[in-house]
Amino acid sequence: MKLSIVATLYQSAQYLEEFCRRAGAAASQLVDEDYEIVLVNDGSPDDSLELAVRLCELDPHVVVVDLSRNFGHHKAMMTGLAHARGEHIFLIDSDLEEEPEWLPNFSEKMARERCDVVYGVQEQRKGGIFERLSGQWFYRIFEALTGIALPENVVTARLMTRRYVDALLRHDEREVFMAGLWHITGFDQRPQTIKKHSTSETTYTFRRKMSLLVNSVTSFSNAPLIGIFYIGVTISLLAGAYTTYLLGHWLFLAKPLSGWTSVMASIWLLGGLVISFIGIVGIYLSKIFSETKRRPYTIVRQVYGKQDN
């Protein structure tokens, strides 16, 4: 099979028919009828699954992978890639904020530049000022803490070769951060400037972005643990210097110090630091615990419309 188009479903019922129609038309321009559309139902609470199964019955190109529950967008994408059979794989969101019609341009760029990945980059990040600024700071903080410079304002849409996807699927961690995995997999990756539409409010709230930042940083760097060591050394040196000062004051000046405020402030400061440091260590321990259990990151309940194997 020459081409696989992979998309995830979560509250996607209102877009699904148009997405499949437009994706099929774009694929036909490139490979005629030698393509498939792999839809991964990530425990969608609406009737996305029922609609996708009906489309699967009407269109032999459509394959539906139904997960047993909601596992998350990134894990669902990895599952869809694992079920894709094409020589080239086009990963895209199904909410039509990303256009299926980008596929021919991505394919032309890949053939012209002989690269393994063509990924979409927004001209300007969509959303309000808070969404744009929080997105910028996400990449800045991630790079500062991990040393990995991810491309900014990337979107899900990307065209990939078979060898790149096979290499990407070798990553077997339980906590999946796709932007990081896309980057560290390597190969020749080229950006394609696109304009992303806005059909709905983003589901990535500030809380979810902070959770994603913590997960991504602790998945790709041990910088927080190293930072704890250096902060501990600095506090120890400052405490030693201050202790020396107090001893000198007691030996040579022999007058009591009024330091209740400074003592209490120090206790609160050190107490807060200790608790936060234990929390950072706990995050890493929880990741180790999660990885050592080796639970599957998704469970497939049923596959509809698979023609071969």
pLDDT in tens, 188-245: 999 998 888 765 555 556 666 677 667 777 676 677 777 777 777 777 777 777 767 7
Check if the beta carbon of residue 2 is closer than 8 Å to that of residue 31.
Answer: yes
User: For residue 78, what are the CA distances in angstroms to 53, 55, 87, 262, 291?
Assistant: 21, 22, 17, 53, 17
The pair of structure tokens assigned to 130 is 């808070």
Provide the pLDDT confidence category of residue 295 given band limits of 50, 70 and 90: confident
Give, as one character, the DSSP assignment of residue 194. E
User: Across the chain, what does the average pLDDT equal?
Assistant: 81
Check if the beta carbon of residue 60 is closer than 8 Å to that of residue 24.
Answer: no
Q: Among 47-56, 65-74, 176-185, 233-242, name the one with the lowest average pLDDT.
A: 233-242
What one-letter code names the amino acid at 30? L
Please state the φ and ψ torsions of residue 117, each to the nearest 5 degrees: -140, 135
pLDDT of 309 > 50? The answer is no
- Cα 33 → chain centroid: 32
Tell me the C-alpha distance between 78 and 71, whole Å.
11
Q: Which fold has domain 3-219+296-304?
A: Spore Coat Polysaccharide Biosynthesis Protein SpsA; Chain A (3.90.550)
pLDDT of 276 > 80? The answer is no
Predicted TM-score (pTM) of the model is 0.75
Instruction: Determine the 3-state secondary structure of 303 from DSSP.
Output: strand
User: Which among 90-104, 134-148, 214-228 has the top mean pLDDT?
Assistant: 90-104
pLDDT of residue 51: 93
- More confident site: 5 or 95: 5
User: Which among 63-72, 243-252, 286-295 has the top mean pLDDT?
Assistant: 63-72
* Radius of gyration, CA atoms only, the chain: 25
